[in-house]
Amino acid sequence: MSNSFDSRASRRDFLRALSLGAGATLAGSTGLAQPLSWLANDLAAERKLGVALVGLGNYSTGQLAPALQQTRFCQLAGIVTGSPAKAAQWQKQYRLPAGNCYDYKTFDRIADNPAIDIVYVVLPNALHAEYVVRAAQAGKHVICEKPMATSVADARRMIAAMEKAGRKLSIGYRLHFEPHNQAMMRLGQAQTYGAIRHLAADNGFKFDSGSTPWRVDKKLSGGGPLMDMGIYCLQGCLYTKGQVPVAVTASFTPETGTGYFKEVEAGVNWQLRFADGSVADCRTTYADNMPGRLRADATGGWLELAPAFGYGGLAGRTSKNDGLLNLPNINQQAAQLDDFAQCVLLNKPTRVPGEMGLRDVQLLQAIYRAAETGQPVSTKDVVQLIDRR
Ligand code: NAD
């Protein structure tokens, strides 16, 4: 793409101005956000941003590290792990310099490593807060996996630490960068099939001896399937309706007799109520494999994703057979990572900031309170934030 910046030096000056904050103003005031992507290309050509994965479990190993081989604006540059064997294996497999590999004690030294721009926290839920705060203190931008935290206080502490550091924080909400879910946001929010009167969402899997034990250990997980799988149903209903609910009711589903669910729920059914009287009925469980579904019934038709929330194989239909949900499946994690890298490069806000993570922690806690008390719980005071399309 041609541009008026005819020397690398003047381009670099302009980019420096962007990184100091002028970019947001310029992009916002001129509507230049899209054309400015050449700037990100330009910066990426000089050096892709370096990402360090903290916690090399299933998601880092199976999804994030492979996705970071496909990204344009960032790359896997470092790791943080408690296992020397894993460190050696990852160094070899991904050609990582030994100096970019940390354990949980040496992690804070990442502050002195200019090859790491972004720290991606992929630990059990209750450990997110500590590592996000430490990454902030190290002066790094951060992506934190979902759910952001196991308490509202932790989520607020994480946001405050990132603000103090002047660095960007996003939550690992990959579906905001996925075409089928983006279409649900667009079509739902634009009321393409009329006003949405009812939503339904479910998501779950059968927890068994092969599942990671911390998921049923409350001090590490903060809760059961609601924290892990139900959060997708919650998110889906909010971004399709385009509103934050005003109240919730909920009930736990019975223990299944497996012995796994001593500390966390086996399942939850809950209902979100929106200000216009419409409702969303949601279900999540660790007792059954559910393919994951997100459906909206509106005054003039319906739209549905099934499967809705997986890493691939998503499919959608509408009542009008108009093909608007016949969309490609993509590498969601690569899209999410590249979007955040561009936010950093161009000093743009992320669509999935810490405040959205806080909103969801507030709503998850409200659902637990409603299930525990059997009473409706008001959610009028939660963060009012929607990914507007
Ligand atoms: P996992 O159990 O496979 O990996 C967790 C890693 O943390 C392991 O490498 C483990 O060794 C390490 N760890 C460090 N300290 C630990 C401790 N005290 N106890 C237990 N493990 C410890 O889990 P995962 O499935 O990779 O999930 C990690 C995070 O990623 C969770 O927050 C989860 O919700 C999230 N996740 C997100 C998605 C998504 O699609 N966005 C998918 C899977 C997991």
| CA separation, residue 350 to residues 16, 63, 88, 328, 336 (Å) | 19, 21, 34, 23, 10
Report, as an integer, the average pLDDT of 44-62: 93
Report, as an integer, the average pLDDT of 285-304: 97
Tokens for 52? 């360090």
Q: State which fold the 178-330+353-378 domain adopts.
A: Dihydrodipicolinate Reductase; domain 2 (3.30.360)
Q: Cβ–Cβ contacts within 10 Å for residue 310, how many?
A: 15
Q: Ligand 1 atom 8: the closest Cα is on which residue?
A: 57
What atom of ligand 1 comes closest to residue 58's alpha carbon?
3
Per-residue pLDDT tens over the stretch 127-167: 999 999 999 999 999 999 999 999 999 999 999 999 999 99
Nearest Cα residue to 260 out of 227, 230, 286, 295 = 286
Return d(Cα 28, Cα 3) in angstroms, integer. Answer: 19
Tokens for 290? 């559910």
pLDDT at site 14: 55
Nearest Cα residue to 200 out of 275, 277, 314, 284 = 284
CB 364, CB 264: distance < 8 Å: no
Mean pLDDT, the chain, as a whole number? 92
Per-residue pLDDT tens over the stretch 208-266: 999 999 999 999 999 999 999 999 999 999 999 999 999 999 999 998 789 999 999 99
Question: Is any ligand 1 atom within 6 A of the Cβ of residue 145?
Answer: yes
Distance from residue 172's CA to the centre of ligand 1 (Å): 12
- Percent with pLDDT over 90 in the chain: 87
Question: Is any ligand 1 atom within 6 A of the Cβ of residue 64?
Answer: no
pLDDT at site 27: 39
Tokens for 156? 């607020």
Question: Is any ligand 1 atom within 6 A of the Cβ of residue 146?
Answer: yes
The residue with tokens 């990582």 is: 96
pLDDT at site 31: 38
Sequence spans of domains, the chain: 3-174, 178-330+353-378
Helix (H) or strand (E) holding 292: strand 290-298
Distance from residue 143's CA to the centre of ligand 1 (Å): 14
167 CB-near residues (< 8 Å, 6+ apart): 136, 139, 140, 141, 142
Question: Is any ligand 1 atom within 6 A of the Cβ of residue 56?
Answer: yes
pLDDT at site 32: 45
Distance from residue 45's CA to the centre of ligand 1 (Å): 32
Q: Mind telling me the catalytic residues? A: 146, 232
Q: What CATH code would you report for 3-174?
A: 3.40.50.720
pLDDT at site 70: 98
Return d(Cα 158, Cα 353) in angstroms, integer. Answer: 11
Question: Is any ligand 1 atom within 6 A of the Cβ of residue 174?
Answer: yes
Report, as an integer, the average pLDDT of 354-380: 98
Distance from residue 215's CA to the centre of ligand 1 (Å): 9
Q: What is the DSSP string of 269-281?
A: EEEEE-TTS-EEE
Label residue 319 by pLDDT band (50, 70, 90): very high
Kind of pairing between the strands at 247-253 and 267-273: antiparallel
The alpha carbons of the chain give a radius of gyration, in whole angstroms, of 21
Q: Cβ–Cβ contacts within 10 Å for residue 78, how many?
A: 24
Higher pLDDT, 226 or 10: 226
Label residue 47 by pLDDT band (50, 70, 90): confident
Question: Is any ligand 1 atom within 6 A of the Cβ of residue 125?
Answer: yes
Q: Ligand 1 atom 30: the closest Cα is on which residue?
A: 122
Per-residue pLDDT tens over the stretch 80-138: 999 999 999 999 999 999 999 999 999 999 999 999 999 999 999 999 999 999 999 99
Phi, psi (rounded to 5 degrees) for 296:
-130, 125
Phi, psi (rounded to 5 degrees) for 287:
-105, -5
Per-residue pLDDT tens over the stretch 68-79: 999 999 999 999
Report, as an integer, the average pLDDT of 23-49: 60
pLDDT at site 11: 53
Q: What number of residues does the chain have?
A: 389
Question: Is any ligand 1 atom within 6 A of the Cβ of residue 178?
Answer: no
Nearest Cα residue to 333 out of 123, 125, 61 = 61
- pLDDT > 50? residue 35: yes
pLDDT at site 21: 45
pLDDT at site 8: 44
Distance from residue 53's CA to the centre of ligand 1 (Å): 11
Tokens for 339? 């979007």
Q: Ligand 1 atom 9: the closest Cα is on which residue?
A: 57
Question: Is any ligand 1 atom within 6 A of the Cβ of residue 292?
Answer: no
Phi, psi (rounded to 5 degrees) for 142:
-135, 140
The residue with tokens 């903060």 is: 222
CB 175, CB 146: distance < 8 Å: no
Q: Report the b/e string of 199-236 with b at 16+ CB within 10 A.
A: bbbbbbbebeeeeeebbbebebbbbbbbbbbbbbbbbb
Label residue 2 by pLDDT band (50, 70, 90): very low
| CA separation, residue 155 to residues 183, 238, 243, 357 (Å) | 29, 19, 21, 7
Label residue 7 by pLDDT band (50, 70, 90): very low
Distance from residue 366's CA to the centre of ligand 1 (Å): 24
Return d(Cα 376, Cα 379) in angstroms, integer. Answer: 10
In single-letter form, the type of residue at position 110 comes to I
Label residue 36 by pLDDT band (50, 70, 90): low
Our separate counts of H helices and E strands in the chain read: 14, 14
pLDDT at site 29: 36
CB 203, CB 294: distance < 8 Å: no
- pLDDT > 70? residue 270: yes
**Dihedral sign for Cα atoms in the order 169, 171, 174, 178:** negative
Per-residue pLDDT tens over the stretch 252-261: 999 878 999 9
- pLDDT > 50? residue 20: no
Q: Ligand 1 atom 43: the closest Cα is on which residue?
A: 59
